[in-house]
Structure 1
Amino acid sequence: MTVPTEGLIRTSKTAHPRHYLLAPSEPTPNGRLHLGHIAGPFLRLDMLSRFLRMRGDLPLIITGSDVYEPYMTFKAVAEGRSEAEIAAEYDALIAEDLSAVDIGVDQFINPCEDPWRKVFEEEVDACVRRLRHRGAVVEQRERVPYSRSAARYIVGPWLTGGCPDCGSRVSSYFCETCGGHFRPENLLEPQGPDGAGPLEWREISSLFLRVAEPEPLRRRMAEMRVPPRFQEAVERFLAREGGTVRLSAPQQWGVALEGGVPGVPRTLFSYAGIFMFARLMGAVHGEMSGTGVNAFDPGSGVTTVTSFGIDNVIPTMVCIVGTALRHGDMKGYDRVLVNDFYQLEGEKFSTSRGHVIWSADIARAPRISADAVRYFLAGTRLEEGPESMEPRSFVEVNNTRLAGRLTSLVRAASAVSADVLPEPMGQDRLARLEELLRRQEAALDGLVIATADAVAAFDLWWRETPGEWGSASQAYWWLKGVAVLAFPIMPRLGRRLWESLGGTGEPRLAAFLEPTRPRASGGPGGFEPITLGDLVSVLPVSSRHVPA
């Protein structure tokens, strides 16, 4: 069999490295990260980043805190602390949650803290000035509820009601069921919190952004393969709002915008603020990567990718993609990756109800491997619809696939190949590995990320083994194939195998064909069998598996 000339391993030494900015949606720093957060934006971009590095490219993952989200003030009022204090606490916990499952972040930006506060405010000012010049900033009158007893406008998480698009119960400015966004006056049967007293509807003047015309935005969404249901949600929103999206909100916490009147605060609305935050990330990428240009500059040569849940479709597609088209000097994201919600035992993860599994808790539980957690989550197809974390399924996958057959195969191959310098890899096996790497590339480095397809490519390789190893070289190259195909999914296994085979650092395709002498001792280890009881300590009391 002839090895394809376009194979990734063969071309890795001569391919020109490409720059990528990978931007998972910014978490609100009012709580930790659970598996619902990890399974979507963070895992898929981490898997992409690892595959790109292994291929020889130059990705950077940059994100930060959605610190000016109104839920920050909601929590601050409830706890009697400042928003900045809460953000600092949870930024540290978010970093722990990401690290526990080996999610790499190259730069995490908190825009309310130095050194980021000043540069973010400067970016906001510059963007608003340019958008005003382009005729994209407009003032509009709107009706907003006010509570005299609370001495605040009842907006954001303080206001609840029915979604005007689908009727679901909602709070704040968006619906987690259908992805719709709306003004306070659009809510069905709006209600304030207990103690707010009767709501007094006041007419105020707010700033809105007039984004791209419908047809250019429609074409751009189609080019990026945004699912039709989300395209429809965007078009429905813009039709109701006359092609505009909120730029300011009547709340105290945030970056102040010009033009307010006494008694009516006017600060940057957090969803519009993600446009300015994206430009800040682009500038940071230019500094960190050495390109010296903003990643969103036309002709930057940087592939920009963002990943987010369905509740962020409107903010991303309207506030970033639509506003970039209006901005005139920004290319916007090249790829947008939308995932549905990951559930727990058939119900939405809910911090308020405590129906969660915190990522750091499960990854650090005795006998449970962070690699096993990642492998299980990566097997979902959240790009197609919601899926659910089922504890029994996790135990079965861990025990039958990972702690069972894979671990026994890896240990047997390691014993056969130990301390033997291998012969060159056979052409048939190299061709098969190249084919599976191409499958992983198609699954991860495209307009849609399908992590389950990347897992399937890995599974095909490790399951294709003889009954007994014919030679040390045969076992060596199989193990090395396991290392590279596993690395995006299970980085600890991939790196452990690579180093036990005599390599250094992370697996690299450019170094794959160089024979190295495996270590004589200190093998790659493996996965441990677990029971449902091992999970009980990390499951919420709402789980049907936790004794009453």
Structure 2
Amino acid sequence: MTDTQKTYFVCPAPPCPNGKLHLGHIAGVYLLTDIYVRFQRLAGHRAFHITGSDEHGTYTLVKAQKLQRPVDEVARMHNHEILACLNALGIEPDEFVRTSSADHIENSLGIYRALKDNGFITIKDGVQLYCEHCAEFAADSLASGTCPDCSAPTDSNLCEHCGLAVPHARLQQPRHAPCSGPLTLKPIRQAHLDIEKLAPTLQRAIADSQWPQTIKDLELTWLREALRTLPMSRHFERGVVLGDGEEVAGQTLLTWFEGLWCFDTGIRRLCAREGTDYRQVMASPDTRVVFFMGQDNRFYYTVGVTASLLGRGFPAPYNQSIQDFSTLEGAKFSTSRDHVIWADEVARVIDPNILRLYLASIAKPFGNQDNEFELEGLMATARKLHVWEASLRAHADDAREVVDEPLPPSLAEQLGRYTAAMDGLAFWEALRAIDEFLANADITLASPRWQAGQVSALLGMLAPFIPDWSQRYATLYFGPDWTPATGKLSLPALPLPQAAFPMIEAQIPDHYVRAYQQRFRAAATA
């Protein structure tokens, strides 16, 4: 147990319920969230995984129109699929907030009112893209064009390529997705978040934060060089509707605000369940809010969500984990091109422990653009895990004496390096520390002395990454009450028990390898 127990609210960006989750979704966001939550719990902290589904975006609407089914029914169907994909990899959120839920709608309006009451929302003249042919306003992915900052193809509101906001007034060559016709700008009255008024507070909070330096530099540069208010409302049929008392009554909040605010609704639910005061919890120095996201969510989390916290008197997020888009055989995961591996399907063929360990290993520092999924890496991970198992079993089988000695300095150093890396969201560094620990430990060789402390430390380091695998061996050797957080071991008597469960196969099934190569490499080798 740590000296001061912290409460972590760990919140990955909510997926859009327009389909299942593929391994690109899992690797960059939801698996890393799960790993971090498990690490903080093992360290003795309270940690909660809060996410949800962004049901008010255009993607779900388009999918429903394609299926010719009610949009709420389609969202419900895909929510079940999303949770099944998470569960297939051992990921179970503590709170899953549907943005269509009554409490989320009420909470979003409450956040809006609080920001407005505090002087950080203004109603001003704005513009929204409009299709004369369809006689309707366009929103989000229904308006596409070219990014004014990086010239990449983009939807309105945010460019996935450079990560910057793209207001309707700045979108180049805008066209309406349903009809492919040109869009024009139509004047409207619109709610804006006054980032300009919040800028000094926002700059100080970001500069003083624990965020990765690359992220801090990007957001501080935007605040210095491109600062402007951010539109918060628009004409769109789905979403959180602003009430009759508002000048912009009938408009809906942008999902880049209310959709991301599902974390706040989840925290409120947890506080209500535990009988704690939401405002006291959020203001406490022992509370830490941590966000996980892909590169496309960076701007609105680091600027928009952070501003909405500061504007209500709460601290900035403690940290932000941002990953570049994962690629599969050199190309971005793409549902439309069927260039994907679905999480629930692959977990039925390949042991989830292998998948978790490999997917965690492809995470990289933001900006490297090197989050590559490759068959060879997956196969190497299966072999590595098999070798670890064989070493653990051989070390136990030859034991004549059980010893619990302090870790030697070289191993203690790697354990410290691992802990710092995990705290700092540098999962790639943590995995390197595990490899170094194993390379220097006495548990990879047969020995008459069974190193209980080293085995326990190794299992503790691996537990956030491959919890089922680690718990199997921890229970085998130390009993069901084992936890590395206690610092105490219940030492087994000799002879050490032999595992009654099978080892993980060292090879990925041949039929899967053949299918993978045919699907993703056939064109390249033809």
Structure 2 length-normalised TM: 0.89
Distance 2:86 2:499 in 1: 32
Distance 1:397 1:456 in 2: 14
Q: Does 1:377 align with 2:359?
A: yes
2:206 corresponds to which residue?
A: 221
From 91, 110, 114, the counterpart of 2:79: 91
Q: Is the 8 A contact 1:250 1:266 kept in 2?
A: yes
1:303 corresponds to which residue?
A: 288
Q: Is the 8 A contact 1:502 1:516 kept in 2?
A: yes
2:404 corresponds to which residue?
A: 425
3-state SS of paired residue (1:341): coil
1:7 corresponds to which residue?
A: none
Structure 1 residue identity aligned to 2:17? P
Q: Is the 8 A contact 1:539 1:546 kept in 2?
A: no
1:315 corresponds to which residue?
A: 300
Identity across matched positions, percent: 25
Q: Give the alignment's Cα RMSD to 1 decimal.
A: 3.0
Structure 2 residue identity aligned to 1:41? V
Q: Is the 8 A contact 2:239 2:252 kept in 1?
A: yes
Using the TM superposition, give the Cα deviation of residue 239 of structure 1 relative to its aligned residue in structure 2, in angstroms: 7.1
- Structure 1's unaligned 5+ residue stretches are 1-11
Q: Is the 8 A contact 1:153 1:251 kept in 2?
A: yes
2:483 corresponds to which residue?
A: 507
From 383, 400, 414, the counterpart of 1:436: 414
3-state SS of paired residue (1:243): coil
- Structure 2's unaligned 5+ residue stretches are none
Q: Does 1:31 align with 2:9?
A: no
Distance 1:527 1:292 in 2: 49
Q: Is the 8 A contact 1:245 1:272 kept in 2?
A: no
Instruction: Summarize the Cα distance change of 1:259–1:228 in structure 2 as closer, same or farther, 3 Å threshold.
Output: farther
Distance 1:427 1:393 in 2: 34
Using the TM superposition, give the Cα deviation of residue 530 of structure 1 relative to its aligned residue in structure 2, in angstroms: 2.3
| 1:205-354 alignment, distance < 5 Å | 205-211=189-195, 212-226=197-211, 230-231=215-216, 234=219, 243-258=228-243, 266-274=251-259, 276-288=261-273, 291-294=276-279, 297-299=282-284, 301-327=286-312, 329-354=313-338
Q: Does 1:42 align with 2:21?
A: no
Q: Does 1:402 align with 2:385?
A: yes
Instruction: Summarize the Cα distance change of 1:300–1:236 in structure 2 as closer, same or farther, 3 Å threshold.
Output: closer
| 1:504-543 alignment, distance < 5 Å | 504=480, 507-510=483-486, 512-517=488-493, 518-523=496-501, 525-530=503-508, 533-537=511-515, 541-543=519-521
| 1:119-138 alignment, distance < 5 Å | 119-138=103-122
Distance 2:142 2:225 in 1: 23
Distance 1:381 1:55 in 2: 22
Distance 1:102 1:186 in 2: 42
| 1:112-191 alignment, distance < 5 Å | 112=100, 117-191=101-175
Using the TM superposition, give the Cα deviation of residue 229 of structure 1 relative to its aligned residue in structure 2, in angstroms: 5.6
Structure 2 residue identity aligned to 1:416? D
Instruction: Summarize the Cα distance change of 1:540–1:500 in structure 2 as closer, same or farther, 3 Å threshold.
Output: same
Using the TM superposition, give the Cα deviation of residue 163 of structure 1 relative to its aligned residue in structure 2, in angstroms: 0.2
Q: Does 1:473 align with 2:456?
A: no
2:459 corresponds to which residue?
A: 483
Q: Is the 8 A contact 1:413 1:479 kept in 2?
A: no
Distance 2:413 2:96 in 1: 36
Distance 1:276 1:220 in 2: 19
Q: Is the 8 A contact 1:358 1:538 kept in 2?
A: no
Structure 1 residue identity aligned to 2:167? R
Instruction: Summarize the Cα distance change of 1:391–1:521 in structure 2 as closer, same or farther, 3 Å threshold.
Output: closer
Deviations for 1:14-61, whole angstroms, at most 9, x for unmatched residues?
Answer: 745332111111111112111211112222221121122222222111
Distance 2:357 2:523 in 1: 22
2:95 corresponds to which residue?
A: 107
How many pairs were matched up?
520
Using the TM superposition, give the Cα deviation of residue 522 of structure 1 relative to its aligned residue in structure 2, in angstroms: 1.1
Distance 2:272 2:246 in 1: 39
Q: Is the 8 A contact 2:398 2:447 kept in 1?
A: no
Distance 2:248 2:132 in 1: 12
**435-444 vs 281-290, which moves further:** 281-290
Deviations for 1:493-514, whole angstroms, at most 9, x for unmatched residues?
Answer: 1111111114216633316432
Structure 1 residue identity aligned to 2:266? M
Instruction: Summarize the Cα distance change of 1:162–1:235 in structure 2 as closer, same or farther, 3 Å threshold.
Output: farther
Distance 2:206 2:231 in 1: 20
Distance 2:249 2:268 in 1: 33
Using the TM superposition, give the Cα deviation of residue 217 of structure 1 relative to its aligned residue in structure 2, in angstroms: 1.7
Instruction: Summarize the Cα distance change of 1:74–1:219 in structure 2 as closer, same or farther, 3 Å threshold.
Output: same
Structure 1 residue identity aligned to 2:405? G
Q: Does 1:389 align with 2:377?
A: no
3-state SS of paired residue (1:164): coil
Using the TM superposition, give the Cα deviation of residue 106 of structure 1 relative to its aligned residue in structure 2, in angstroms: 1.2
Deviations for 1:69-99, whole angstroms, at most 9, x for unmatched residues?
Answer: 2222222222222221122111111111111
Using the TM superposition, give the Cα deviation of residue 516 of structure 1 relative to its aligned residue in structure 2, in angstroms: 2.9
**94-103 vs 75-84, which moves further:** 75-84
Structure 1 length-normalised TM: 0.86
Q: Is the 8 A contact 2:478 2:489 kept in 1?
A: no
Distance 1:175 1:189 in 2: 14
Deviations for 1:396-454, whole angstroms, at most 9, x for unmatched residues?
Answer: 3322x223x3232123123235xx8x64412344x5554333222111113xx111111
Q: Is the 8 A contact 2:10 2:47 kept in 1?
A: yes
Instruction: Summarize the Cα distance change of 1:94–1:506 in structure 2 as closer, same or farther, 3 Å threshold.
Output: farther
Distance 2:497 2:487 in 1: 17
Q: Does 1:460 align with 2:460?
A: no
Instruction: Summarize the Cα distance change of 1:296–1:24 in structure 2 as closer, same or farther, 3 Å threshold.
Output: farther
Structure 2 residue identity aligned to 1:336? Q
Using the TM superposition, give the Cα deviation of residue 165 of structure 1 relative to its aligned residue in structure 2, in angstroms: 0.7
3-state SS of paired residue (1:91): helix
Instruction: Summarize the Cα distance change of 1:261–1:540 in structure 2 as closer, same or farther, 3 Å threshold.
Output: farther
Distance 2:273 2:434 in 1: 32
Distance 1:142 1:240 in 2: 21
